[in-house]
Amino acid sequence: MDFSGRHVVVTGGTGALGTAVVGALLGAGAACTVPYAIEAEAQRFAHAGDPNVKLIAVGDLGDEGDVAKVYAGLSTASGLWASIHIAGGFAMGKVADTGKAALMAQLDTNLISCFLCCRAAVNAMRGGGRIVNVAARPALEWRSGAGMAAYTVAKAGVAALTVALAEEGAKDGILVNAVAPSILDTPANRAAMPKADFDAWPKVEEVAATILFLASPENKVTGGAVVPVYGKS
């Protein structure tokens, strides 16, 4: 896949999955804008010194002003080619134990941020482009969202947004898709679930490969898909 001369925004790019995605994009010739909110992640980001990476500190991707700062100037010249939205957050909690503040936090972190970045990306693209969102397994399998209802609602919204926006963007050559991972094999998840079968979890490099194809010029026809990336789990 060739991203030479193409600009890509990757939200959540300093996290485990994001780092794999940015690395694959750089290897394919892309220039990447990577917003970040956690300074420690930015400091240990493996691609921080790459000349084709622009790191931008943001407070909140659920804020329109912060999102505008990320996409500022990307509508000029050849425009933005792709926008990949990995940023989000997870929280457990049964419905009985989840108040409005906790629900809104999950909506802001996962759905609102994705919506605002999708809007900015569509407005920055010239002559077509690609958008890839990150949903989650509970977004497709609602029963599996028991005990994490607010997160499930937010990620189900990301899936619905993806399909609706795909219909809007198709006529302009903008293909919009999402991936829906199960539990990713990351150091943080291994630490949280030390007795789990790690071999069954999808690896970040494997999920990154699916994201890269959906965001690539080689993807000429796939839009409106929410692709399960579950590995063996």
DSSP string, 127-176: S-EEEEEE--HHHH-GGGGTTBHHHHHHHHHHHHHHHHHHHHHGGGTEEE
* 118 token code pair: 């999708």
**How far apart, in whole angstroms, are the C-alpha atoms of residue 181 and residue 141?**
11
| pLDDT profile of the chain (233 residues), mean per 10 | 96 97 98 95 95 96 97 83 97 97 98 98 94 98 97 98 98 97 92 93 96 98 98 87
Residue 133: beta bridge partners? 85, 178
Q: What is the pTM of this model?
A: 0.96
Contact 53, 32 (CB under 8 A): yes
Domain ranges for the chain, please list them: 7-229
Which sign, positive or negative, has the C-alpha torsion 77, 55, 14, 89? Answer: negative
- What is the pLDDT at residue 127? 87
**How far apart, in whole angstroms, are the C-alpha atoms of residue 106 and residue 5?**
35
- What is the pLDDT at residue 77? 62
Amino acid at 55: L
**How far apart, in whole angstroms, are the C-alpha atoms of residue 123 and residue 119?**
6
Per CATH, the homologous superfamily of domain 7-229 is NAD(P)-binding Rossmann-like Domain (3.40.50.720)
Query: Which residues form the catalytic set?
Result: 151
